[in-house]
Amino acid sequence: MKNKLSLSLAVTLIILVLVPTLVFAYALGDSQVVAPVPGAGLPEGIATRGNRFYVSGPADFGQPLGSAYVHAYDIHTGDLLDTYPINITNPYAGMSAASCAAFGPDGKLYVLEPFVGVIVMDLDPNNTQSVYAAWTPEGPLLANDLVFDDEGNLYVTDSFAGTIYKVPAGGGAPEVWFADPRLLGGGEYPFIIGANGIRIDRNNKMVYVSVTFDAGLDGKIYRLPLVASPDADDLELFASLGMYTGPDGIAFGKSGKLYIAMAASNTITVLNPDGTVNAVYSGPALDSQGTPVPWVGPANIAFNDLEGTLLVTNHASLVEPRDPSLFVVFDVFVDDKGAPLK
């Protein structure tokens, strides 16, 4: 009996070695719903750290005071683990919002509350928060996206003023780092979004910024050298994406490709390192029941390195009447990992 068992075990081991392991094959562009976004919805920012991803919102004007949030999710399952209400508000504004979020070199989460400024969150059980940089704008302001450089300086886009601000390492008053009419939105219509997503390349040499709608309502990606005081001649057009495409959040992959959430055309565009188009992906995303959920106003993106996917916030603000079932995070298989955020 012992010899028979040994022979059986040996045959089983040989089969396991010779037969290839079955692996589910993803196709590039495959998309699934990862998690719903409850409460005020209208998700905008997204950032990953460890086994969690974090979503900030609502990115909308007119939301009640105290409605801004950060939700924390399990990156493996999409389960909602914690909610951190943003408890610093501007009572004179009478409303709350949150746009993008990014982890700083200290491991804390930095969130843009456009009526306050940059809020730093410890993400601890006490929901500890403080103001890292406060804005006192002279005109309309929409602080939209943010990124750190290797020295800990923080760069923030202003979508209404065509401006990139710089906040010194450790926090404090923001200063204008670069401003140019090419970063303005919509020509005569200042409330059409201009400068939006912002990232620094992996060599810490160039700053890339998306312009959602320029004077001709075209979507553009520009880049600037990461220097103390760039001037107008330093601004370089990296890619022109066409009318009504609406590039929003951007992120670099380890491959060197630039991934762009196209809020108006409801796609994800991938650019090669030379600015040419590598791929364009479109929805829908499939939920757990296999029901298609359309991509509507994809806003910002972060990499899930464990799966080779992009995590994308479905902002869905332009659907009338607004449909809370569209407020989700979906993923897109791109077979790439994220370049380290500064």
Q: What is the CATH number of the domain that holds 78?
A: 2.120.10.30
Query: Domain for residue 61, yes or no?
Result: yes
> Average pLDDT in the 29-46 region?
97
Pairwise CA distance, residues 198 & 280, whole Å: 20
Q: Is the predicted pLDDT of residue 3 greater than 80, yes or no?
A: no
Q: Is the predicted pLDDT of residue 110 greater than 50, yes or no?
A: yes
pLDDT at 138: 62
pLDDT at 341: 65
Query: Domain for residue 4, yes or no?
Result: no
Query: Domain for residue 241, yes or no?
Result: yes
Query: Domain for residue 7, yes or no?
Result: no
Query: Domain for residue 12, yes or no?
Result: no
Q: Is the predicted pLDDT of residue 258 greater than 50, yes or no?
A: yes
The mean predicted confidence, pLDDT, of the chain is 90
Alpha carbon 230 to its chain centroid, in Å, reads 25
pLDDT band for 25, please (50, 70, 90 cuts): low
pLDDT at 255: 96
Lowest-pLDDT range of 203-207, 208-212, 257-261, 269-273: 203-207
Q: Is the predicted pLDDT of residue 67 greater than 70, yes or no?
A: yes
DSSP string for residues in 61-81: TTPBTT--EEEEEETTT--EE
Pairwise CA distance, residues 332 & 327, whole Å: 16
Q: Is the predicted pLDDT of residue 339 greater than 90, yes or no?
A: no
pLDDT at 135: 84
Query: Domain for residue 11, yes or no?
Result: no
Terminal alpha carbon distance of the chain: 63
**From the CB of residue 123, how many other CB atoms can be counted at a distance below 10 Å?**
18
pLDDT at 201: 95
Q: How many domains does the chain have?
A: 1
pLDDT at 6: 44
Range of the domain at 194: 33-333
Lowest-pLDDT range of 125-139, 165-179, 187-201, 301-315: 187-201
pLDDT band for 267, please (50, 70, 90 cuts): very high
Percent of the chain with pLDDT over 90: 81
Alpha carbon 187 to its chain centroid, in Å, reads 26
Query: Domain for residue 8, yes or no?
Result: no
The amino acid occupying position 341 is L
Query: Domain for residue 183, yes or no?
Result: yes
Whether the model pTM is above 0.75: yes
Which tops the pLDDT comparison, 154 or 143?
154
Q: Is the predicted pLDDT of residue 170 greater than 60, yes or no?
A: yes
DSSP string for residues in 95-161: B-----EEE-TTS-EEEEETTTEEEEE--STT--EEEEEE---SS---EEEEEE-TTS-EEEEETTT
